[in-house]
Amino acid sequence: MNKLGIEVPSVLLPKNKSSSKWPVIACDQFTQDRDYWEKVKTFVSGDPSTLNLIFPEVFLTDENSADSISAEKRIADIHSDMKNYLQSGVFAQPGKGFIYIERDTPYQKKRRGLAALIDLEHYDWHPDARPLIRCTEGTVPERLPPRMNIRRGAPLELPHVLVLIDDDKNSLLPALGEKVKNTSPVYDIELMMDSGSVKGWLVNEESDIAFINEKLEELYNRSAARYPGSGGKPFLYAVGDGNHSLAAAKGIWDELKKNGADLSHPCRYALIEVENIYDPAIEFEPIHRVVFDINFDEIISVLRELPDFSCENANSADELTSFCKSQSAANCFGVVLQGRYAKITTSAAGIATACLQPLLDKYAGDKPQLIDYIHDEDEVFRLAESKNRLACGILLPPVMKSGLFETVARLGPLPRKSFSMGHSAEKRFYLECRALGS
């Protein structure tokens, strides 16, 4: 399977295969909602949990507070807990095989996936690169060091990376599910915080692995001709979620290679979940923006640089939401701050983030922390009503998932945080683990 950039993993799962305390949502969710993470901590209540093996990004800015824990201490604790879990019998014996996954979310049913290893030798996040595995959004190098620090020397990895395939006939995952679901699932879990449920089945029969190989090879063989902008190079996988985490894994692998690591080293690979972009249970959602320390008139002034800028007042949050979801002829944005609402339109073509992000980056300058990226509109409105700190919300229009592969093949990565594969509660939960041998 080497040319397909995929390998069969050895997966570590907890002995308690139904514990709701074990899986925890991706670390880059609820970055402005400490209460969410405090509730997770209370729910876990000292039991084995992936919460102890990750660094929620909401805590990345903690070091300036009086009772903060430094990033170095958090990472040291994470590595220590990983070693303890490996040594204390938390995990069952590793299973060699893919994991076929079905997830029910609060919004969709039976979202299908496949936990697998992808080969980082086939991946490159740089904008001009055209490898087999391509990122869908721009990678910010300054965001990589904290993630690399967590992976560097870690004895385990936990995936929240979602990698898309362009299987328009939906020929792989539903058929694979029918093949493997005559066996008992290796986990069956109700997810915490009303996030649905997830089941997984081990895929280790030779015939099933051959079936996966056959279907992926079909997609591989057609990909060079399917995407004219790809320069004749195969394009099989698009990284849909977790671009920066995968880029960090690539950075660590490059470090190890530079220091003489063998090509068989476990860090050459990353554990991810493969999903089909045409799965009807996957809905692309916009990632909204919140800009801090700016008042309503100032943000309008920033946005006036949009081509053919137009601004109209709105009377309510509902009106603003309806406006952003109904526009089609032009890009549009909704602006909200402490009870004031504005409807913005522009003639700028292409995905909305392409014209918006440069203006926000110009405002933020050398303080990128002045911008945060929020997945759910309710959270945008909550932050925009805060009396503690000015937080101006910018609502973005819907994102179409059709044409994503063609666009990335032709233009390279989209602007960062251009879309989300579902709502926050639908994000991947850490569940499967893999030993890195560190």
Q: How confident is the model over 89-137, as pLDDT tens digits?
A: 999 999 999 999 999 999 999 999 999 999 999 999 998 899 999 999 8
**Entry field: residues in the chain:** 438
Residue with tokens 């893919």: 98
pLDDT value of position 328: 63
- Taking only the tens place, the pLDDT of each residue in 343-396 is 999 998 888 998 999 999 999 998 988 999 998 899 999 999 988 899 999 999
266 and 296 assigned to the same domain: no
Mean pLDDT of 304-316: 95
Mean pLDDT of 74-90: 95
C-alpha span between 316 and 385 (Å, rounded): 13
Residue type, 16: N
Reported confidence tier of residue 86, pLDDT bands at 50, 70, 90: very high
Q: Is residue 42 part of a domain?
A: yes
Reported confidence tier of residue 403, pLDDT bands at 50, 70, 90: confident
b (16+ CB within 10 A) / e for 256-265: bbeeebeeee
Instruction: With H, G, I as helix, E, B as strand and everything else as coil, classify residue 281.
Output: coil
> Hey, how many other C-beta atoms are within 10 angstroms of the C-beta on 203?
23
Q: Is residue 412 part of a domain?
A: no
114 and 212 assigned to the same domain: yes
Mean pLDDT of 157-176: 96
C-alpha distances (whole Å) from 173 to each of 103, 110, 181 are: 13, 11, 12
Mean pLDDT of 58-87: 81
> Taking the mean position of all CA atoms in its chain, how far away is CA 107?
17
167 and 183 assigned to the same domain: yes
Question: What is the domain extent for residue 43?
Answer: 2-283+421-435
Give the pair of three-digit tokens for residue 352.
Answer: 């909305």
Does the pLDDT value for residue 303 go beyond 50? Answer: yes
Question: Any bridge partners for residue 237, and if so which?
Answer: 133
Of 159-163, 173-177, 387-391, which gets the smallest average pLDDT? 387-391
Does the pLDDT value for residue 438 go beyond 90? Answer: no
47 and 97 assigned to the same domain: yes
Task: Answer whether 316's CB lies under 8 Å from 380's CB.
Answer: no
Q: Percent helix, strand, coil in the chain (nearest 5)?
A: 35, 25, 40
* Angle ∠(41,43,45) on CA atoms, nearest 5: 70
Question: Any bridge partners for residue 123, and if so which?
Answer: 133
Where are any strands of DSSP class E within 140-251? Answer: 156-157, 162-165, 187-190, 197-203, 237-241
Reported confidence tier of residue 290, pLDDT bands at 50, 70, 90: very high
Q: Is residue 196 part of a domain?
A: yes
Of 56-70, 103-117, 204-218, 405-419, which gets the smallest average pLDDT? 56-70
Q: Is residue 160 part of a domain?
A: yes
Give the pair of three-digit tokens for residue 430.
Answer: 């850490």
pLDDT value of position 61: 66
Q: State the chain's mean pLDDT as an integer.
A: 93
Q: Is residue 171 part of a domain?
A: yes
Nearest to 247 by CA among 272, 224, 230, 266: 272
Q: Is residue 31 part of a domain?
A: yes
C-alpha span between 197 and 47 (Å, rounded): 19
pLDDT value of position 66: 44
Reported confidence tier of residue 69, pLDDT bands at 50, 70, 90: confident
φ, ψ of residue 122 to 5 degrees: the values are -100, 15
- Taking only the tens place, the pLDDT of each residue in 324-354 is 988 665 789 999 999 999 999 999 888 899 8
Give the pair of three-digit tokens for residue 158.
Answer: 């936990």
C-alpha distances (whole Å) from 252 to each of 45, 147, 161, 164 are: 33, 10, 16, 23
pLDDT value of position 329: 57
φ, ψ of residue 55 to 5 degrees: the values are -120, 90
pLDDT value of position 400: 82
66 and 35 assigned to the same domain: yes
pLDDT value of position 298: 96
Reported confidence tier of residue 2, pLDDT bands at 50, 70, 90: confident
C-alpha span between 383 and 398 (Å, rounded): 21
Q: Is residue 410 part of a domain?
A: no
Does the pLDDT value for residue 315 go beyond 90? Answer: yes
Q: Is residue 57 part of a domain?
A: yes
Residue 425 carries which DSSP code? G
Reported confidence tier of residue 251, pLDDT bands at 50, 70, 90: very high
Does the pLDDT value for residue 7 go beyond 50? Answer: yes
pLDDT value of position 351: 85
344 and 217 assigned to the same domain: no
C-alpha span between 141 and 356 (Å, rounded): 20
132 and 153 assigned to the same domain: yes
pLDDT value of position 67: 47
5 conformational bin, left if phi > 0, alpha if psi -120 to 50, beta if neither: left
Reported confidence tier of residue 437, pLDDT bands at 50, 70, 90: confident
56 and 176 assigned to the same domain: yes
266 and 310 assigned to the same domain: no
Mean pLDDT of 168-175: 96
The DSSP line for 128-166 is T---SEEESB---GGGHHHHHHHHTT-SEE----EEEE-
Q: How many domains does the chain have?
A: 2
Task: Answer whether 162's CB lies under 8 Å from 268's CB.
Answer: no
pLDDT value of position 62: 57
268 and 294 assigned to the same domain: no
Mean pLDDT of 424-429: 94
60 and 141 assigned to the same domain: yes
Does the pLDDT value for residue 238 go beyond 60? Answer: yes
Q: Taking the alpha carbons of 419, 421, 425, 431 in that order, is the dihedral positive or negative?
A: negative
244 and 303 assigned to the same domain: no
φ, ψ of residue 336 to 5 degrees: the values are -140, 135
